[in-house]
Amino acid sequence: MMTEPDNPSDIQRRTTESDLMIIASLWLIGLFLVNPLGEFPLNDDWSFGITVKYLLENGDFHPADWVSMPLLTNVIWGALFCLPTGFSFTALRMSTLVMSLLGLVMFYLLLRDMKQSRGIALIMVLTLAFNPIYCALSNTFMTDVPYTTMAILAAFFFARNLRTSSNVEFTVATILAVVATLSRQLALSIPLAFAVTLVVTQKISRQNILRAVIPVISSVTALLILEHWLSVTGRMPSIYHARTSVLFSVLADPGRLISTLADNTFTCLIYLGVFLLPILLWESINIIREHGRKAVSMLIGSIAAVTAFGALCCLAIHHGQIMIMPFSRNILTRFGIGPLTLRDTYIMGLDHVPVLPTVFWIAVTMAGLAGAGIIIALLAFRARPLIKNYRAGIGENEVSGVFFLLVAIIYLLPLLVGGFFDRYFIPAMPFLMAGLAGIAGKSAGDIMTSRFAKFAVITMLALFALFSICATRDYLGWNRIRWEALYELMDKKQVSPTDIDGGFEFNGLYTFDPLYRENSGKSWWWVRNDEYQITFGPLPGCKVVMEYSYYCWLIPHTQKILVLQKDSKQ
């Protein structure tokens, strides 16, 4: 009996559903292993949580003073997850986890919409999913992962509009750009990139000029209205413009600008080189196949150039000190995932927690140098034919690729001048990957066509996943025990929060004071009286009154959390 062949659209739908099931399953397995449950804040999200709680209790948006972004979108999203059972940090964490999975799904759909192969799409999505910072921050109420998802959503519809000129997609894209901008100011990079791409790749007309400026004007206007309202109603956080002030102060000093730009560019290249390593490994094999010895020479030359640039930065800016990762701040630390925000480790720098061996970080640094060189080589190889064929017209994939690269570049530029934390690189990752794939002009091929590439990339992704899951579990583990100790200290021992140095998140949540003056004898995080301190290890002049322990996965060992009390004899 003859049967009709499957419709290509049906095949693509089934493969898409299958791939999304793979992505969701791996993500859920990672989530189960990490164990995100627990009623405690992480990093800066105590201040975002306070803002959500205020909205729930008073029906009013009033950002906490320790906030430097618009935050409106994130607060509304988090509040929705708190409505069923009331405010909790667990509910806020669930809101970010939903956005994390949505971001991965939309990134996959964006890549497939660009006609990228299943293999390439899966590699890129899993490279993002198992990035240690993306994985860690997915389990917090920090803004980085939700913002990344909002940016992907907006960029998805802008990229489609560049192909179709659909009014519906244009309207949706503009609304999503505004939504992203009301999360973080740097979302302006998306409509700005759309405007530049539209002007450069399509004919100049009244309609296209309007399409270019409307999203930019809409996003800027929404941001200015919110900032004006915050200002006139006395709700503007005191540190809201702190990074803008740093940016302008650097721009005003040419000497400082050159050194800052050089140093930050090197740091950015190394981190992105490490973070994108699985897909860069595949892409390097691909261009070697396409261009042979020429590609090998270009790759070696690019890696050598990045290494020389880094050496120059070490000599001229860091006075000969050799830079070994992690040399940016915040999430990725010598211990794994951090920050370890307790007095003994963060303030005093005591070695109460085992660190990963130096040889590991040397290997990571070398991998970053190689990855940075591959990025430069890929851009060089793929930009040349793009520029050559520009007058004759470039294809839809190339247009999308240019747009995504511009989103990443415009996003990163102010950070290269004004400074950054390592977590700020995460929103640039999906756009760099999609941009490099797009300017290739066609799908780079399926990973399954090369056994060596398949083995190398899967191994790399597995190592990323192992590190990210173990390190994130340890990070949540010690915080869970820390807060168990704190709740017992407050509830059972009846100790006032004002008498405790419980670490950055604890004192931020309970004793934050914008008028606080630092005391050289105490931690800077708004500690009033440190009669009791939570630490990883003993401190002179203090006695241990309670002791807790948990088991670490990344560096297998049993770690202690101590509750110390100042010795009355001192």
Asked if the model's pLDDT at residue 405 lies above 80, the reply is yes
Distance CA 114, CA 430 (A): 13
SS3 450: coil
Distance CA 119, CA 357 (A): 34
Asked if the model's pLDDT at residue 440 lies above 90, the reply is no
Distance CA 401, CA 480 (A): 43
Cβ proximity of 347 and 339 under 8 Å = no
Distance CA 99, CA 97 (A): 5
Tokens 């971001």 sit at which residue? 103
Q: What spatial distance separates the first Cα and last Cα of the chain, rounded to whole Å?
A: 93
Cα 557 to the center of its chain, rounded Å: 28
Distance CA 97, CA 162 (A): 30
pLDDT at 448: 42
Cα separation values, 414 from 189, 214, 257, 280, 430, Å: 10, 23, 12, 25, 18
Distance CA 441, CA 180 (A): 29
- Both tokens assigned to 177: 């750009």
Asked if the model's pLDDT at residue 445 lies above 70, the reply is no
> DSSP character for 255?
H
What mean pLDDT comes out for the span 85-89? 95
DSSP for 276-331, written as a single string = THHHHHHHHHHHHHHHTHHHHHHHHHHHHHHHHHHHHHHHHTSTTPPP-S--S-SS
Distance CA 87, CA 90 (A): 9
C-beta atoms surrounding 202 within 10 Å: 15
Q: What is the mean pLDDT of the chain?
A: 91
pLDDT band at 446 (very low <50, low <70, confident <90, very high): very low
pLDDT at 444: 47
Cβ proximity of 128 and 134 under 8 Å = yes
Contacts of 134 (CB under 8 A, 6+ apart): 100, 128, 145, 148, 426, 429, 468
Tell me how long the chain is: 570
Whole-model pTM: value is 0.94
Amino acid (one-letter) located at 469: I
Return phi, psi of residue 269, to 5°: -60, -45
21-52: burial string, b at 16+ Cβ within 10 Å, e else: eebeebbeebbeebebebebbbbbbbbbbbbb
Contacts of 274 (CB under 8 A, 6+ apart): 325, 364, 367, 368, 371
Give Dmax (Cα) for the chain.
Answer: 94
pLDDT band at 7 (very low <50, low <70, confident <90, very high): low
Return phi, psi of residue 481, to 5°: -70, -40
pLDDT at 1: 44
Q: Which helix (H) or strand (E) segment is 360 a member of?
A: helix 358-388
pLDDT at 391: 61
Distance CA 558, CA 317 (A): 40
pLDDT in tens, 237-293: 999 998 889 989 999 999 899 999 999 999 999 999 999 999 998 888 888 887 788
Tokens 């505004």 sit at which residue? 178
- Both tokens assigned to 314: 């070490």
Cα 484 to the center of its chain, rounded Å: 28
Long-range contacts of 286-289 (CB under 8 A, 24+ apart): 286/444, 286/445, 286/453, 287/377, 287/378, 287/381
What mean pLDDT comes out for the span 155-170? 95
pLDDT in tens, 451-500: 777 888 999 999 999 999 999 999 999 999 999 999 999 999 999 999 99
Asked if the model's pLDDT at residue 447 lies above 60, the reply is no
pLDDT at 519: 81
Domain ranges of the chain: 9-474, 475-566
* Proportion of the chain in helix, strand, coil states, percent, rounded to 5: 65, 5, 30
What mean pLDDT comes out for the span 542-551? 94
pLDDT in tens, 171-202: 999 999 999 999 999 999 999 999 999 998 88
Cα 256 to the center of its chain, rounded Å: 27
Q: Express as a percent the part of the chain with pLDDT over 70.
A: 95
Asked if the model's pLDDT at residue 48 lies above 80, the reply is yes
